Structure 1
Amino acid sequence: MIQAHIKAFLAILLVAQVHGIMFFLEPNSHKCLKEEVHANVLVTGEYEVSEAMGQKANYVIQDSKGHILSQKEDIPHGKLLKFSFVTETYDTFEICFISRVPNHQRGIRQEVTLITKRGIEAKSYEGIGEAAKLKPVEVELKRLEDLSEAIVQDFARMRKNEEEMRDTNEATNTRVLYFSLFSICILFGLSTWQLFYFRRFFRMKKLIE
């Protein structure tokens, strides 16, 4: 039972490292996708743009500061192409596909297929095994070792995020408590002032002694 749970968790983790999407790119328009990626993570991708005579399609990948990580102009239509980059910091990365159609031509929408991989799934363990002359079993052990390390890092990040959220909640609760006490003091002061004011007013009108 425990082994089954572990295998299921590993499968979920691997799926979380791979993202695939298909969308339509309208003529003379652009469509962008954003994703948050941690620091020092390898990101690879495969993309394909359907054929459209006379139309051009470009893509660009950049971070939140506008630094270009990968780009290609006039993407060949109907061919599966690849890109890769390594993140330097934790940031939000954006990949945009842009359509360009001449003014004298009526454009058609193009189908774009995009598959991105990051972390463990982005590595080519076959290439690593061939370069290091490793046996298939050793390659699989290397892959499992990296996967275990990725799981530990994910748990560490989850714990850090939980601690940050807890600290934020505690700080917010403290501020709310102080604000509530301050509001009570203000209301008590206003009530006391109103009591003395109306008492003095009624005495001046000789309504009370």
Structure 2
Amino acid sequence: MRGFFITLTIAFCLFATINALSVDIQPHSEECFFEDLDVGDKLTVSYQVGEGGNLDIDFMIIDPEDNLIKSTARESVGNHVVTANKKGKYTYCFSNVMSSVTAKSINFNVHDMERIQETAKTHIDPIEREIRELAESIFAIKDEQEYLVARERQHRDTAESTNARVKWWSIGQLTLLVAVCFWQVFYLKRFFEVKRVV
């Protein structure tokens, strides 16, 4: 019975530490978020640019002393892992400063698994270990599904845009064809009219 409650608590903690978010970042701006970490905690941030511009974004992680830990420029997809070597607030930012016109939509997940694993290291039975491994696999699958959903949305938008362009091009061609037909009938009718001389 005690093992069941420990397993239930671990599962609840695992689900509580996942944050799936979506944010829109306007041109010439950036959005920052933070996590409080202890020494040795591992922070994983995975993201996908869903729409906007060239589907790229700048990303950076800053430690509690405002030192830049990781920085990437113009990436569509990213997965960054940081192990805290100092206790405090770790900030991660998405920057759209390089874009002058287009807003970007970003889907991202934040995982903080190490803290749970450290607190559960004592008295671990094989079932609990399996549950944690399954939870990590579920989170990896969830990330992959969110990536596929974002890609599907992007491809759907592209297909709908192409469909609209083809439709209007076809309507324009049909209109031009009807206009040319009427003009030819009118021109040939005038060509074969007999002109009377008075």
> Are residue 81 (structure 1) and residue 61 (structure 2) matched?
no
The 1-side partners of 2:83 and 2:127 are apart by 20
Q: Which structure exhibits the higher relative contact order, with contacts defined as CA atoms closer than 8 Å and separated by 6 or more residues?
A: 2
1:161 corresponds in structure 2 to: none
Q: Which sections of structure 2, spanning at least 5 residues, go unmatched?
A: 118-124, 133-198
1:30 corresponds in structure 2 to: 30
Moved more, 33-42 or 55-64: 55-64
Tell me the matched-pair count.
125
Residue 90 (structure 1) aligned to one of 83, 87, 92 = 87
Is the 8 Å Cα contact of residues 17 and 120 (structure 1) preserved in structure 2?
A: no
Q: Report SS of the residue matched to 2:93.
A: strand
Q: TM-score, normalised by structure 2?
A: 0.53
The 2-side partners of 1:122 and 1:4 are apart by 17
How far apart are 1:36 and its partner, in Å?
Answer: 0.3
Render the CA deviation track for 1:53-78: whole Å, top value 9, x for unaligned. Answer: 357520110012111121111113xx
The 2-side partners of 1:142 and 1:2 are apart by 13
Is the 8 Å Cα contact of residues 13 and 116 (structure 2) preserved in structure 1?
A: no
1:144 corresponds in structure 2 to: 129
Q: TM-score, normalised by structure 1?
A: 0.51
2:110 corresponds in structure 1 to: 116
Alignment RMSD: 3.2
The amino acid across from 1:141 in the alignment is P
Is the 8 Å Cα contact of residues 34 and 94 (structure 1) preserved in structure 2?
A: yes
The amino acid across from 2:106 in the alignment is V
1:67 corresponds in structure 2 to: 67
Aligned sequence identity (%):
15
Render the CA deviation track for 1:111-147: whole Å, top value 9, x for unaligned. Answer: 1111111234999xxxxxxxxxxxxxxxx939729x7
The 2-side partners of 1:73 and 1:25 are apart by 15
**Pairing 1:1-209 to 2, within 5 Å after superposition:** 2-53=2-53, 56-76=56-76, 80-101=77-98, 103=100, 106-107=101-102, 109-120=103-114, 141=126, 144=129
